[in-house]
Amino acid sequence: MKTSIQFASCLFAAVVFLSMTAMVHAQQRGTGRAPSGDRSTGDIELEKPPVPLDEFEQTALKVLGDIQANQAFRNVPENDGRLLRIMAQSMGAKNVVELGTSTGISGIWLGLGLKETGGHLTTYEIDSDRAAKARENFKRAGLSDVITVVEGDAHEKLKDFTGTVDMVFLDADKEGYIDYLNTLMPMLRPGGLILAHNINPRMAHPPFMEAITTDPNLDTVVRGGMSITLKKK
C-alpha cells in the first residue's frame, strides 16, 4: 500500500512538472523569448520585436544584438530599453541623465529617442572597462554625438553636473538611488521623469521607495520591475 501511494505521488509530481515545462516551451515558441518573472505572459505574447524605420535604426539594432550576444555584462532587457526610448522621445527630452552605463544597451535605446528630439544623454559608469566598451558601442551605433560617457564614481561626478534635466534613468548601485534622487531632483524640470531599474520586493531600496511614494510632488507607478516617477511641479 505504501509503495502504491509513493508511486502515485511521484507520478502526480511528474505530470505537474511536464505540464509546466510544456507551457513554458509553448510561451517561448510563441514569442521567441523566455518569459520574464516581472512581466505577464500576456504582455510577452502580444509584444513583437522592434522594426527598424531606416538604415540608421537597423544599424543600431544590429549593434544592440551584438552587445547582448557577445558582451557578458549586466544590461537592461530589450523591453525595458524600448520603454526608455519611447519615454524620452515622446516627451521631447533634450537632456537625459543615466546612472549605470554598463556596456551601453540602455544608452543606445535612449540615444535613438534623443537623436529624434535633438537631445543629449549624459551617462555615468564607474568601471573603466565597461565605459570603454560603451563608448565603442555608441560609436558603432552612430550615437557618439548624442551620448557623453562620464567615467568614475557618479556620487562625486554628479556634483559637477549643471543644467535642467528632463529625464533620469537609475540603474547603478541600488543603495545609491536615494543619493542620486536627492542630487538630481532640484535639476529635474516640472513634468520630468525618474525611471529606476530593478524595482522589486527583493532589490528595491526602502529609503528610495519611501522618497518616491510619499512626496506629494511625486507620483510613482511600478511596472515590470521599473518604477516611473513624475515630478508634478
Q: What is the mean pLDDT of the chain?
A: 87
Confidence of residue 4 (pLDDT cuts 50, 70, 90): very low
**DSSP for residue 32:** S
Instruction: Note whether 96 and 21 are same-domain residues.
Output: no
Helix-helix angle 177-184:206-214, to 10 degrees: 40
pLDDT in tens, 113-123: 999 999 999 99
- Which set of grid coordinates corresponds to residue 164? 535642467
Instruction: Note whether 181 and 81 are same-domain residues.
Output: yes
Instruction: Note whether 6 and 69 are same-domain residues.
Output: no
Instruction: Note whether 13 and 88 are same-domain residues.
Output: no
Instruction: Note whether 32 and 100 are same-domain residues.
Output: no
Confidence of residue 141 (pLDDT cuts 50, 70, 90): very high
Instruction: Note whether 37 and 68 are same-domain residues.
Output: no
- Which set of grid coordinates corresponds to residue 77? 532587457
Instruction: Note whether 8 and 80 are same-domain residues.
Output: no
| pLDDT score, position 38 | 65
Instruction: Note whether 178 and 66 are same-domain residues.
Output: yes
| pLDDT score, position 45 | 85
Instruction: Note whether 167 and 215 are same-domain residues.
Output: yes
High-pLDDT (> 70) share of the chain, %: 83
Q: What is the mean pLDDT of residues 141-147?
A: 98
**DSSP for residue 125:** E
Is pLDDT of 22 > 90? no
For the residues of 33-101, what is the DSSP string, one character each?
A: SPPPTTS-HHHHHH------SSHHHHHHHHHHHHHHHH--S----HHHHHHHHHHHHHTT-SEEEEE--
**Beta strands 95-99 and 120-125, pairing class:** parallel
Instruction: Note whether 98 and 119 are same-domain residues.
Output: yes
Q: The CATH number of the domain where 94 resides is what?
A: 3.40.50.150
Instruction: Note whether 42 and 64 are same-domain residues.
Output: no
pLDDT in tens, 165-190: 999 999 999 999 999 999 999 999 99
Is pLDDT of 100 > 80? yes
96 Cβ contact list (under 8 Å, min separation 6): 88, 110, 114, 119, 120, 121, 122, 165, 166, 167, 168, 169
Is pLDDT of 217 > 60? yes
For residue 28, what are the domain limits? 2-46
Confidence of residue 14 (pLDDT cuts 50, 70, 90): very low
Q: What is the mean pLDDT of residues 22-46?
A: 52
Q: What is the pTM of this model?
A: 0.83
Instruction: Note whether 115 and 14 are same-domain residues.
Output: no
Is pLDDT of 33 > 70? no
| pLDDT score, position 26 | 36
Is pLDDT of 7 > 60? no
The number of domains in the chain is 2
Is pLDDT of 3 > 70? no
